Structure 1
Amino acid sequence: MEQYEAEVGGPVRHAVHAHASATDGRTPGRRNDVNEIIGYTTGVFDMFHIGHLNVLRRASERCDRLVVGVTTDELCVARKGKSPVIPFEERREIVASVRYVSSVVAQSSMDKVGAWHLHRFDRMFVGDDWHGSDQWHRYEREFGDLGVELLYLPYTVHTSSTLLRQRVVSEEAVS
């Protein structure tokens, strides 16, 4: 079942599971030790742009503390076949400097449930461009079993690192 929440910039889709229950004694959506909601999102964050900022802002508005996994250079090469323009340490520092971000961790694996075991977040935020994919349907079920809420945030369609890279290449070709 999905719920929709109106917001400037588009709806946020919530993957809600009636069978959700925490397996470690936590109340779903709440951390008993400090009574705060921990959010988690990931990304390459190469050539940081307004779309990245929008995701981080929207995610931070829906949790008390936002942990961001910045994809390592090695994982980028393994997944996309190319290195990011900006090296990992610089991307990590850029993301860490954003006021919406509480802490930054290295994302060296695409295993989001494995990341939950490390960081014990209550909400996972992902761009709505992933909504409906087989991979994220599986995560909806797995996170539901762990009591983790999965929220799909509006994707900023007018800009992306890929579009920026293409623009730079086309302008260099004209010069």
Structure 2
Amino acid sequence: MSNRRPYRVGYAPGAYDLFHIGHLNILRHARQQCDYLVAGVVSDEMAERAKGRRPVIPLIERLEIVRNIKYVDAAFVETVADKVETWKQVRFDVLFKGDDWRGTPKGDKLEQDFAAVGVDVVYFPYTVHTSSTQLRRALDALAPPLPEAGELSRG
């Protein structure tokens, strides 16, 4: 007897900062391959550890945006880097990632860890022409320079 559910739960983790078409594409494609989609929204602290900077959009707002995308059935705040620990809480059957992870040491470890618990890893094409990193660079270029430390106290 199998312990598989009669429906397939998918999990699509991400920072979802500066929400753009690449994020929407992953969620849309993920929903087409499962019956119930949970979007994992990484905490501000996790995003900062992974990318070296905090998201532009705070967690509570990113969570609300993702929760209201029509392809998403539930949103989960991801607070640990170990995806298997997240799986123990969410219990998904398939994990969706951008194909920029495929063939990398991190992607290989993810596939190996999830094969051990019967979870499939499915990759979707990474949206090369739009990324949160590119959007953030554009915003940074438009921002006025911050004053030097001593300039604020001059009167």
Class of the TM-score when normalised by the shorter of the 2 chains: 0.7 to 0.9
Aligned Cα root-mean-square deviation (Å):
1.5
Partner of 1:137: 108
Unaligned runs of 5+ in 2: 145-155
- Residue of structure 2 equivalent to 1:149: 120
Q: Name the aligned partner's letter for residue 166 of structure 1.
A: R
Question: Which of structures 1 and 2 has the larger relative contact order (alpha carbons within 8 angstroms, sep 6+)?
Answer: 1
TM-score, length-scaled by structure 2:
0.87
Q: Which residue of 2 aligns with 1:26?
A: 3
Asked if 1:126 is matched to 2:103, the reply is no
Q: Which amino acid in structure 2 is aligned with residue 162 of structure 1?
A: T
User: What is the one-letter code of the residue matched to 1:116?
Assistant: W
Decide which structure has the larger Cα Rg and report it.
2
State the 4+ residue runs in structure 1 displaced beyond 6 angstroms: none
User: Once the two structures are aligned, what percentage of the paired residues are identical?
Assistant: 45
Residue by residue over 1:133-168, the C-alpha shift from the partner in whole angstroms, topping out at 9 and shown as x without a partner, is 112212212211211111011111100011111122
Residue 79 of structure 1 pairs with residue 50 of structure 2: yes
Amino acid at match of 1:113: V
Cα distance in 1, alignment partners of residues 140 and 115 from structure 2: 43
Report the alpha carbon displacement of residue 170 of structure 1 after superposing the two structures with TM.
2.6
1:75-112: CA deviations, max 9, x gaps?
A: 12222221111000000000001000000010111111
Match of 2:136, as an amino acid? R
Distance 2:143 2:82 in 1: 37
Partner of residue 19, structure 1: none
Q: Is 2:138 the counterpart of 1:161?
A: no
Per the alignment, residue 70 of structure 1 pairs with 41
Q: 2:100, 2:38 → 1: CA distance?
A: 21
CA distance in 2, matches of 1:132, 1:169: 32
1:98 corresponds to 2:75: no
SS, match of residue 129 in structure 1? coil
Equivalent position of 1:53 in the other structure: 24
Look up the SS of the partner of 1:42 in the other structure: strand
